[in-house]
Every structure is written in structure tokens, then in C-alpha cells.
């Protein structure tokens, strides 16, 4: 049973997910260490699937390791590297191994990763994959039409970028994914709160937020280098001038502090934004900062030393 599903059903709870990137080697402890920092503080954690088209431990293996370490996994699965046979196979495998949540997406293009010479698969797209998984679970059929004996029960999630053109169509796009079967959606980094609020308002008008819970992507910008990287090096991330000005306006040694302060303010505002069910934290290797960030934003209470036991 998915704890994330239960958390999303609890209307009074601001749901928090985080992200665990699998290691580039065969060390299972890399997952355990990250799990230790997050345990008890997040409702679930995404396990990325060769993120940015860089080869790493598989998301399925890392999801099983994360679950064993006491954090509920959300297994990411992309269409970049697998055809429809392999996608359905990994989905069934995940269900059999007790992975309770899946996050289905198209994936970054291989040309952006560490194997730019790789063959891009994209046999299905993200919407088709969500639709396929929903039919496997609810109708018990594969794309071939063949029946599944025991059906999977995962919670199905997806992603959306409210800030990427065609921006006017982005609410309709999530509506389409929700209609295809997505029950929750994590978004790209939210730095532009007014634009984000306009997007969620459109979603609420169309009744999408009732069927598909929106978890806003949030994370601190820790340095001017990271600011430059996010502004130009990551497809689809939009950092407004105001945020950039604030980070550039403080001495170099205080940039990280300012970045964390912006992140905390963003979390507070999101928690008060109608139609936002929670946040998806992207802290990349700084999992130990998650408890403090959540307490400062008054999203979670408690003493980490006690709660982490």
C-alpha cells in the first residue's frame, strides 16, 4: 500500500517528497546514507531514472534499496531508453518487488547526457506511458491486449513544467495527463510564484487539482555558479530576474544562506497557495538539510534527533 497515496488523501497534510539520485557505481550504501537523512521527514522520495541521460544504477534497483532503508520510493521511469516491452516489464517488476509509486515521464534527450551517441528510443511518450500504466492497473491489460493475472497497485505520478512554452497550453497539458491516469504531478523548479499561482488557478478552474495532486518543485540555489547553471544549462528552468538580483546582491559567502532563505519563503507561500497539495524538494546531495528546511518553513515540526530514530 502506498503511504504517499494515504498522505495525499489526508487533506490537512502538506505532502513532501524529495529526490534520491542513484549512484554511478554498485555501492548500495549510497542509497542507505541518503535514506537515513530523509526517513520520517518526507512522505516519499523519487528515485531518478538515469537523470539527465547519464548512466547510473537503475531506478528499480535503487527503489528497492531505498524501501529497505525505510523511505518509501517513487520509482521514476522514462521513455528514453526502453521500448514498450521493456517499459511494461519494468512496471510489472516494480509492482512485484513492492514499489508502491511510479512517476512516468518522457525523459531528457540522450544528446544532453554522458552518452550523446546513444540511440534515443521514445517508442512511447510520457502521456502514453501514463495511459498504459493506468490500464495495466485498472483494466488489467497490457498494450498487446493480453490480460495481467495479479494487477499492480501503484500510485501513478507524472511531471509538468508550468513555465515552458507554450505556457498557455500547460494547464491543459496536465489535464490531459490527469485524464490519462496521473494521480499526482511534480513540477519543475518554482521560482516565479505569481506565474505558478496563475497556472494552479487554471488547473482548479478545470477541476484538475481534485483528480491530480500538484506537488511544487522547490530547491535552494546554493551558489552563483548554480544560478548560472539553472538559468542557462538546464532545459525548462526559469529563474526570474528578482531571484537572481537577490542572490547577486549579497557577498559571495552568504549566497547559500540567501538561497536557503528564498527556498524557505517559497515553501511558505506554496503552502498557502490554493490547489498546491505539497512540495517536491530538490536538494541534490544535501539531504541532511531537509529537516531544518521543513521546520524553518513550519511545514513539519519536531526534533530531527528524535524523529530520525
Partner 1 sequence: MVNEPRPFRPRISARLAYTLHAGLAPNPFYRRLAAFVEGRPRLARWFTSGERAVKERLFGCRMCGQCALPVTGYACPMTCPKQLRNGPCGGVSADGSCEVDRSLRCVWVTAAERAGSAGRGGDLDLLQRPADNREWSRSSWLNYWQGRDEGLTTALGDG
Binding site for partner 1 (CB under 8 A): 79-80, 84, 106-109, 111-112, 119-120, 122-128, 131-132, 143, 159-161, 163-166, 168-169, 172-173, 175-176, 179-180, 188, 235-236, 238
Residue 153: count other Cβ atoms within 10 Å of its Cβ.
11
CB of 264 to partner 1, least distance (A): 25
For residues 217 and 266, what is the distance between their CA atoms, to the nearest angstrom?
A: 10
CB of 164 to partner 1, least distance (A): 4
Give the nearer residue to partner 1 in terms of CB position, either 41 or 163: 163
For residues 212 and 204, what is the distance between their CA atoms, to the nearest angstrom?
A: 10
CB of 232 to partner 1, least distance (A): 10
Residue 26's contacts (CB-CB under 8 Å, 6 or more residues apart) are 57
CB of 288 to partner 1, least distance (A): 29
CB of 69 to partner 1, least distance (A): 29
Give the nearer residue to partner 1 in terms of CB position, either 67 or 134: 134
CB of 3 to partner 1, least distance (A): 26
For residues 143 and 301, what is the distance between their CA atoms, to the nearest angstrom?
A: 45
Give the nearer residue to partner 1 in terms of CB position, either 66 or 182: 182
For residues 134 and 194, what is the distance between their CA atoms, to the nearest angstrom?
A: 33
Q: How many residues does the chain have?
A: 309
Q: Contact at 8 Å (CB) between 33 and 288?
A: no
For residues 97 and 76, what is the distance between their CA atoms, to the nearest angstrom?
A: 15
CB of 200 to partner 1, least distance (A): 16
Give the nearer residue to partner 1 in terms of CB position, either 41 or 189: 189
Give the nearer residue to partner 1 in terms of CB position, either 208 or 279: 208
Q: Is there a cis peptide before residue 166, judged by omega within 30 degrees of 0? A: yes
Give the nearer residue to partner 1 in terms of CB position, either 119 or 253: 119
User: H or E stretch including 160?
Assistant: strand 155-160
For residues 104 and 79, what is the distance between their CA atoms, to the nearest angstrom?
A: 8
User: Residue 32 has what DSSP assignment?
Assistant: H
Give the nearer residue to partner 1 in terms of CB position, either 133 or 299: 133
Amino acid at each position: 500500500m502506498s503511504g504517499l497515496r494515504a498522505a495525499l488523501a489526508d487533506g490537512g497534510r502538506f505532502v513532501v517528497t524529495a529526490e534520491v539520485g542513484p549512484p554511478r557505481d554498485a555501492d548500495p550504501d549510497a542509497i542507505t546514507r541518503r535514506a537515513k537523512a530523509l526517513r520520517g521527514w518526507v512522505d516519499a522520495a523519487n528515485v531518478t531514472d538515469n537523470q539527465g541521460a547519464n548512466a547510473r544504477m537503475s531506478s528499480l534497483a535503487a527503489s528497492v534499496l531505498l524501501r529497505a532503508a525505510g523511505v518509501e520510493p517513487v520509482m521514476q521511469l522514462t521513455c528514453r531508453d526502453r521500448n514498450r516491452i521493456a517499459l511494461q516489464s519494468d512496471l510489472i517488476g516494480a509492482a512485484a518487488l513492492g514499489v508502491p509509486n511510479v512517476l512516468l515521464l518522457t525523459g531528457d534527450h540522450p544528446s544532453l547526457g554522458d552518452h550523446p551517441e546513444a540511440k534515443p528510443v521514445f517508442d512511447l511518450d510520457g502521456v502514453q506511458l501514463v495511459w498504459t500504466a493506468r490500464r495495466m492497473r485498472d483494466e488489467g491489460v497490457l498494450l498487446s491486449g493480453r490480460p495481467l493475472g495479479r494487477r499492480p497497485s501503484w500510485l501513478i505520478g507524472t511531471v509538468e513544467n508550468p513555465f515552458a512554452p507554450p505556457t498557455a497550453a500547460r494547464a491543459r497539458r496536465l489535464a490531459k495527463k490527469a485524464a490519462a491516469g496521473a494521480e499526482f504531478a511534480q513540477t519543475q523548479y518554482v521560482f516565479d510564484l505569481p506565474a505558478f499561482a496563475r497556472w494552479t488557478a487554471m488547473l482548479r478552474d478545470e477541476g484538475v487539482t481534485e483528480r491530480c495532486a500538484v506537488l511544487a518543485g522547490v530547491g535552494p540555489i546554493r551558489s552563483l555558479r548554480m544560478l548560472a547553471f539553472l538559468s542557462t544549462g538546464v532545459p525548462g528552468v526559469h529563474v526570474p530576474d528578482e531571484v537572481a538580483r537577490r542572490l547577486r546582491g549579497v557577498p559571495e559567502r552568504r549566497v547559500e544562506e540567501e538561497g536557503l532563505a528564498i527556498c524557505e519563503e517559497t515553501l511558505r507561500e506554496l503552502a498557502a497557495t490554493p490547489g498546491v497539495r505539497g512540495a517536491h524538494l530538490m536538494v541534490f546531495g544535501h539531504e541532511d538539510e531537509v529537516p531544518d528546511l521543513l521546520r524553518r518553513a513550519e511545514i513539519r515540526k519536531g526534533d530531527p534527533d528524535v524523529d530520525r530514530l
